[in-house]
Each structure stands twice: as structure tokens, then as C-alpha cells.
Amino acid sequence: MAEHLPCPPLFDGCDAGHYTLPDDVLKARDTHVKADAMPYPKPPRNSWETVADTAQATADALRDGTELPDVDRIEQARRDERIYQDALDMMAAVLDTTSRRVREALSAHALDILTGHLRPVLDETWKTYQDAYRVLTEHGEHEPRRLLNAPAKVRKASDTCDLMAGRYEALVAARLSLWVALHIRCEDDPSGKYTFIRNYHELHPTRWLTARTPWHGLTTRQFLDYMASHAGRLWMPTPEEQAKAVQAEADLGNPMKRAAGF
């Protein structure tokens, strides 16, 4: 992946076929990759080495009575160094420009990426996972290592869960890259509790910030199993939608407001 490319995980998931991205974003990314692949010029000989060589050749010519060397080659060596440095500066500027254009394209399409590209895939992924999880639940076993002799339908459901877990990881990484690199985040939810779980408070009703969630330390598949068995509502909200979720559940679990009738 090209250096200085914003949100690499977002593009990795797209390249892996998990979801699509807007054409403008991909075009800007491809341009940046081409710029990063431009061959660098070969470094010229150091001008100080040319000075030393010319000095030695001049001394030899004076000793031998031969023609003196052309000192213009020193200036040519310095010109070559300047041209080389100019080329490096130019190529760095090209990378900065193409990287900035990628960032601008991502910023311009951020909400579309969330709602039109990542969200539909997440919804489909989560539904597919839940359907496969239901098959495993009906069978009575979820651990892949215990399904070697299970019916083909059950083994297929387990494989589907693995595939969807991998896709979910790609979606989460993509969303987090937008959160970190472009600050596409909800200011009303600084800890990001509702970034991926719509009913976070229902699943983890505590106000202690240091309290570990029931899904702490689980693998992605174990996390999805937990969400499937506890009616977790996974989603891909815009910052505004996330803020509404925070507000909707802001007073849940607050005994003072409950007692006052709120």
C-alpha cells in the first residue's frame, strides 16, 4: 500500500471484496498508488568527490606537463545534485498532493461510505451470521472443532460464521480508520460505545467507565455469538444517528431520574 495513504484498512477491505467504495475515492487512491510507484532517479556522484578527482587530475597534469582537466565538470556535478534534489522534492510534493486528494475525497464521501457502502454490507453480514448461528443453535453446538462429524448443513453454517466474522472485522477496521484518520466520530459518544452496538446500554447497563463488558476479550466470532444470543443490534450509524442513540439511552439506569418519573 502506498505511503501516506489515509485509511489503509478502508481500502484493504474494499480490495478484498468485502464492500465497495465511491468511484471518486477509488480513482484518487489509484492515482496516489501510481505516484508512489514512480521510479526514483539514480543519485548522482557527490560533487565533493568530483572536486577531489579534479584536484588530483590537475596536480597530475602539472606534474606531467599535460593538459589541465576541465573544471566545468565540478559545476556540472553540482547541477546534477540540484536536479536530483529537485526531483526528490517534486516527487514528495506529488505524494503529498495525491494523498491530500484522497483525504478530500474520503471526507466528501464519508457519509455515503457509511450509509451507502459499509452499512448495507454490515446489515447483510449480520443477518447472514444470525441465520447461520440459528442453525448451529438448533444443532446444539457452536464450537467448530466439535462439528467435524456434524451434518453438512451444520458444517456449512459454521463456515459461514467464520466468513462473516472475517467480513465483520474488515467492516470494523474500515469504520475505525474513518474515526481515527478523518475524525468521523460522534462527539456525544467520546468512548465510542454506540459506534457498533445500537443497544449498548441494554447489553451492558452500567455507568462505570472501567467496568468490563461481558464480551471483553472475546474473539470476533465469540463476540458475534454473544450478540446473536443476547439480541445485540449491530449497526453502522452516522455521527448524528449515533448521537440520537446516546440521547435515547442517556437516562436508562439512572435511579434518580427514574424515581422522579423521567
Instruction: Identify the pLDDT of residue 1.
Output: 46
Between the alpha carbon of residue 182 and those of residues 24, 99, 103, 140, the distances in Å are: 17, 13, 8, 44
pLDDT at 147 over 90: no
Instruction: Identify the pLDDT of residue 50.
Output: 86
Going by pLDDT thresholds of 50, 70 and 90, the confidence category of residue 248 is: confident
Among 105, 236, 98, which residue's Cα sits nearest to residue 174?
236
Alpha-carbon distance of 215 to 110, in angstroms, equals 29
The predicted model scores a pTM of 0.83
Residues 69-86 pLDDT 10s: 998 998 899 999 999 999
Percent of the chain residues past pLDDT 70, beyond the cut: 93
Instruction: Identify the pLDDT of residue 239.
Output: 96
Residue with cell 463456515: 159
Report, as an integer, the average pLDDT of 206-224.
Answer: 88
pLDDT at 123 over 90: yes
Instruction: Identify the pLDDT of residue 161.
Output: 96
Q: Cα angle at 59 between 53 and 61, to 5 degrees?
A: 100
Instruction: Identify the pLDDT of residue 262.
Output: 41
Report, as an integer, the average pLDDT of 218-224.
Answer: 96
* Helix locations, the chain, DSSP H: 8-15, 23-36, 47-64, 72-108, 110-112, 119-139, 152-181, 200-203, 220-229, 239-248, 255-259
The sign of the CA dihedral 10, 16, 19, 22 is positive
The whole-chain average pLDDT of the chain stands at 90
Instruction: Identify the pLDDT of residue 20.
Output: 98
Instruction: Identify the pLDDT of residue 220.
Output: 97
pLDDT at 105 over 60: yes
Alpha-carbon distance of 177 to 103, in angstroms, equals 12
Instruction: Identify the pLDDT of residue 209.
Output: 64
Instruction: Identify the pLDDT of residue 253.
Output: 53
Going by pLDDT thresholds of 50, 70 and 90, the confidence category of residue 142 is: confident
- CB under 8 Å to 109, separation ≥6 — which residues? 21, 22, 24, 25
Instruction: Identify the pLDDT of residue 100.
Output: 95
β-bridge partners, 234: 197
Instruction: Identify the pLDDT of residue 141.
Output: 77
Instruction: Identify the pLDDT of residue 4.
Output: 81
Going by pLDDT thresholds of 50, 70 and 90, the confidence category of residue 261 is: very low
Among 41, 38, 36, which residue's Cα sits nearest to residue 1?
36
Between the alpha carbon of residue 223 and those of residues 55, 164, 215, 226, 235, the distances in Å are: 73, 12, 6, 5, 14
166: left (phi over 0), alpha (psi -120 to 50) or beta: alpha
